[in-house]
């Protein structure tokens, strides 16, 4: 499970998070019985003996403050430093359990010292005015420092997932400062900034392992306190964090990583932000209100939620997973979710989230035979037609001919790939959630379309794998997946089908050499008459066929026989002139024939999405782990968060309407009727609500709703921004309720077809139904049209799309 799984609604934020970074050694199972511990100790002894054979001498892996490898990297002697780093890199990459930071005193400080030496050298070079050319000139001493810093960071990265090495990382102040210093070096904008990329990635992996326990603070403010600390009367007043504190520096540095052009840094930035958001003391830092208002923020970058929305449409499963984890954490804060509801492209964002539900899911086709016996066949056929549940439509493979017009083909041939494939797919295919096209069929159709036109100067065709990848860019919403029907596996592209283009259906073009007729004919018979009158019935008639590349020549000598021979031959190039009439009846259509049993097959797609349950049907095996797993799960969790806010929004709007009505009737009655002593609309206090999350008896949203009677009097924050964080007016989130009602059919269909996501979204579906009914009550007179739209499941602004603001 990934970093944000520890903070599901109703879960404890303090539970241990499993590290899921690919390519890093996984932590061993926790120690249990004494026999198991003794077995592991024996395994460690055997592993040390293995490394003795590998190194051809002593392994130097015995724990203690006098460990040879630790003393080597701290000695200051170049040969010894390189010796110690080389041994530790090899061992920690394979057997990280043999090197525990708690047992090898000084290893952590030694690695951090090597990293600091490199950072100081870069700063010294920059002070002398040579940083822009350092990477080009190639200073040997600086390259050595960079290599050692990279190896030291790699050692820490390999050890960070180990539970027995995590405590020294959590308590080390030098580690947080070193991470900030290295990330800050990446923000200098110098030509040699890429030197630090490898070190930054390793330290970001370390930060992800310990980020849950690192509280963040706003500039000029103290770290937030918990409810227990607030109740302690002997507690000293918290002091504002200095500007150079890692608690202040980390957030803006990670935000800037989300705007880089390096995909690896973007992934690491979002993962670390999601892990840092697990700490409840950092809520005010992640709030969108404080990011926009508290100096020295904002930085010259938008809030990460804006970057996440811009990157969400990309067909990148690993990036989608990191982004959706952050979106889930972002929407856990009620103030953030309420502000998200005010975005003009809200409906488009929700549709993107719903489109991610079944990314990487396993699809199972279920066939249900709805047979009808003879005695009921006539009644069934009269009322339902000949076929009740036909098989879902599938695209045909066009092995011959074009799927585009002659004019479109002339424009497409000159385009380079992949622009040609993108434009061609948008002309030929369309979105249909109930259809699919096999990946082989898509490639064969592409090949049949463009293989005849390959010539010098024409862009070569793409390989099959690239054609399948391009389909996701050409038509958003389709997903390549594997459908399992018993023991058979089908590789398809879900949600895609061939267009039924009226300009190509039933149209026939004359392909006779030299024909000047540019218009297409409506039928094969009309095309035949055109060929006969324009090309054959001449004096004298042609002696050979001139249709495209046909080489047929008549063996007759008389003009009349030549004409008859070629007229008969040209029909081989055309469709049948007299297709079977639709009025012909089969024995089953004869009303006097005996009625047979009717067989109607219902084809149902059942999805299995991995949602954290290792025993579920859709769970990946340890040998088949893939970053795509979990994308749909976090998309569903985000939608569930927003559905809870939508429910609070309609309750707030109803309470506000009741308050306004009370003021109108009572005249002199106080503040007029809303919940709370002030008569305002529904509000919730963030700090006081979080304090009631003890024992996992309440989810965060239940706690916020329970605080609706007023604003916590114990709040110590000042200023309008912090007041708005503590006192959220959910009535402004009413557009979110309307947008979710518009997507109600999609949510209902997902719950019915996916068991795993159904457990997550069932609560959201019930809340959306309550929201729909509440919206109808809010507009009984002047909103008849809007109420009717809600009743039909159609929201306002369905045509809106996500706006990509750079």
Closest Cα partner for 156 from 215, 200, 221?
A: 200
**What is the reported pLDDT for 663?**
39
- pLDDT: is 648 or 59 the higher one? 648
pLDDT tens across 268-293, in order?
999 999 999 999 888 888 888 777 77
As a whole number, mean pLDDT of residues 43-61 equals 80
405: pLDDT strictly greater than 90: no
Cis ω for the linkage preceding 298 (within 30 of 0):
yes
What are the CB-based long-range contacts (under 8 Å, 24+) for 183-186? Answer: 183/250, 183/253, 183/254, 183/257, 184/249, 184/253, 185/119, 185/122, 186/257
pLDDT tens across 587-634, in order?
444 444 444 444 555 666 778 776 655 455 444 554 444 444 688 889
**What is the reported pLDDT for 18?**
38
* Residue 698 burial class via C-beta count within 10 angstroms: exposed 0-12, middle 13-18, buried 19 and up: middle
**Domain 368-498: top CATH class:** mainly alpha
* Residue 790 burial class via C-beta count within 10 angstroms: exposed 0-12, middle 13-18, buried 19 and up: buried
444: pLDDT strictly greater than 90: no
pLDDT tens across 184-200, in order?
988 876 777 888 899 99
As a whole number, mean pLDDT of residues 153-158 equals 94
Residue boundaries of the structural domains of the chain? 3-213, 368-498, 524-573
**What is the reported pLDDT for 40?**
60
pLDDT tens across 360-390, in order?
777 777 776 655 554 555 555 555 544 444 4
pLDDT tens across 198-226, in order?
999 999 999 999 999 999 988 888 888 87
402: pLDDT strictly greater than 70: no
pLDDT tens across 446-503, in order?
888 888 888 888 888 888 888 888 888 888 878 888 877 666 778 888 888 887 665 5
Contact call for residues 736 and 645 (beta carbons, < 8 A): yes
Q: How far apart are CA 328 and CA 337, in angstroms?
A: 10
Alpha-carbon 273 to chain mean position: 16
**What is the reported pLDDT for 610?**
67
Edge-first strand order for the sheet with 488-498 is: 429-438, 488-498, 479-485, 362-369, 601-608
Two tokens, residue 320: 């989608």
pLDDT exceeding 70 applies to what percent of the chain?
67
128: pLDDT strictly greater than 50: yes
- Element (H or E) spanning 231, and its range? helix 227-231
Confidence band (pLDDT; 50, 70, 90) for 267?
Answer: very high
767: pLDDT strictly greater than 50: yes
As a whole number, mean pLDDT of residues 651-679 equals 47
Which of 60-64, 115-119, 524-528, 597-601 has the highest mean predicted lDDT (pLDDT)?
115-119
pLDDT exceeding 90 applies to what percent of the chain?
23
**What is the reported pLDDT for 438?**
85
């Amino acid at each position: 499970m990934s970093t944000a799984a520890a903070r599901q609604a109703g879960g404890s934020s303090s539970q241990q998070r499993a590290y899921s970074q690919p390519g890093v050694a996984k932590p061993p199972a926790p120690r249990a019985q004494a026999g198991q511990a003794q077995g592991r100790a024996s395994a460690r002894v055997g592993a040390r003996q293995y490394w003795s054979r590998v190194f051809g001498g002593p392994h130097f892996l015995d724990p203690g403050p006098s460990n040879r490898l630790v003393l080597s990297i701290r000695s200051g002697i170049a040969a010894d430093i390189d010796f110690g780093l080389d041994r530790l890199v090899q061992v920690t990459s394979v057997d990280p359990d043999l090197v525990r930071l708690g047992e090898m005193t000084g290893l952590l400080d030694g690695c951090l010292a090597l990293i600091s030496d490199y950072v100081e050298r870069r700063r010294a070079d920059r002070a002398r005015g040579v940083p822009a050319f350092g990477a080009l000139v190639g200073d040997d001493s600086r390259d050595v420092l960079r290599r050692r810093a990279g190896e030291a960071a790699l050692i820490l990265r390999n050890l960070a997932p180990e539970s027995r090495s995590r405590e020294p990382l959590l308590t080390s102040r030098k580690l947080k400062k070193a991470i900030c210093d290295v990330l800050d070096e990446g923000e200098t904008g110098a030509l040699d900034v890429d030197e630090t990329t490898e070190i930054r990635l390793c330290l970001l992996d370390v930060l992800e392992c310990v980020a849950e326990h690192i509280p963040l603070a706003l500039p000029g403010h103290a770290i937030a306190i918990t409810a227990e600390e607030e109740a302690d009367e002997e507690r000293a007043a918290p002091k504002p964090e200095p500007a150079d504190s890692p608690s202040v520096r980390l957030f803006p540095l990670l935000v800037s990583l989300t705007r880089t052009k390096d995909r690896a840094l973007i992934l690491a930035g979002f993962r670390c932000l999601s892990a840092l958001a697990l700490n409840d003391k950092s809520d005010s830092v992640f709030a969108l209100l404080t990011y926009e208002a508290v100096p020295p923020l904002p930085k010259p970058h938008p809030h990460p939620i804006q970057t996440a929305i811009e990157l969400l449409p990309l067909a990148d499963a690993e990036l989608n997973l990191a982004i959706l984890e952050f979106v889930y954490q972002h929407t856990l804060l009620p103030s953030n979710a309420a502000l998200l509801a005010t975005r003009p492209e809200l409906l488009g964002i929700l549709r993107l989230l719903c489109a991610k539900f079944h990314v990487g899911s396993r699809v199972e086709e279920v066939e249900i035979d709805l047979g009808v016996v003879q005695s009921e066949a006539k009644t069934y056929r009269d009322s339902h037609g000949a076929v009740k549940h036909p098989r879902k439509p599938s695209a045909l493979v066009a092995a011959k001919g074009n799927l585009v017009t002659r004019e479109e083909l002339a424009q497409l041939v000159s385009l380079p790939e992949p622009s040609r494939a993108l434009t061609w797919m948008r002309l030929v295919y369309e979105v249909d959630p109930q259809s699919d096209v096999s990946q082989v069929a898509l490639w064969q159709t592409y090949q049949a379309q463009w293989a005849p036109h390959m010539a010098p100067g024409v862009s070569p065709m793409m390989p099959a794998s690239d054609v399948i990848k391009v389909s996701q860019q050409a038509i958003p919403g389709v997903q390549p997946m594997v459908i399992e029907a018993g023991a058979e596996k089908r590789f398809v592209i879900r949600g895609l089908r061939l267009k039924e283009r009226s300009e190509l259906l039933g149209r026939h073009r004359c392909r006779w050499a030299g024909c000047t007729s540019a218009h297409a004919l409506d039928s094969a018979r009309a095309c035949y008459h055109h060929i006969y009158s324009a090309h054959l019935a001449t004096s004298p008639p042609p002696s050979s066929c001139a249709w495209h590349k046909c080489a047929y020549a008549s063996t007759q000598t008389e003009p009349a026989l030549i004409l008859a021979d070629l007229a008969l031959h040209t029909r081989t190039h055309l469709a049948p002139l007299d297709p079977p009439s639709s009025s012909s009846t089969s024995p089953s259509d004869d009303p006097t024939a005996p009625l047979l049993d009717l067989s109607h097959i219902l084809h149902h797609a059942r999805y299995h999405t991995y949602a954290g349950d290792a025993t579920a049907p859709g769970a990946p095996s340890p040998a088949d782990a893939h970053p795509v797993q979990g994308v749909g799960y976090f998309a569903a969790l985000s939608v569930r968060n927003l559905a809870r806010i939508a429910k609070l929004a309609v309750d707030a709007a109803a309470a506000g309407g009741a308050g306004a009505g009370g003021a109108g009737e009572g005249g002199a009655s106080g503040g007029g009727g809303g919940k709370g002593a002030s008569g305002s609309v529904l509000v919730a206090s963030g700090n006081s609500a979080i304090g009631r999350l003890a024992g996992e008896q309440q989810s965060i949203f239940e706690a916020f709703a329970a605080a609706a009677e007023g604003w916590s009097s114990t709040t110590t924050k000042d200023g309008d921004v912090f007041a708005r964080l503590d006192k959220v007016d959910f009535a402004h989130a009413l557009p979110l309720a309307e947008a979710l009602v518009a997507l109600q059919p999609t949510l209902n269909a997902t719950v019915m077809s996916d068991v795993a996501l159904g457990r997550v979204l069932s609560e959201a579906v019930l809340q959306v139904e309550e929201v729909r009914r509440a919206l109808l009550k809010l507009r009984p007179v002047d909103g008849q049209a809007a109420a009717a739209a809600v009743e039909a499941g159609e929201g306002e602004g369905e045509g809106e799309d996500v706006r990509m603001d750079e």
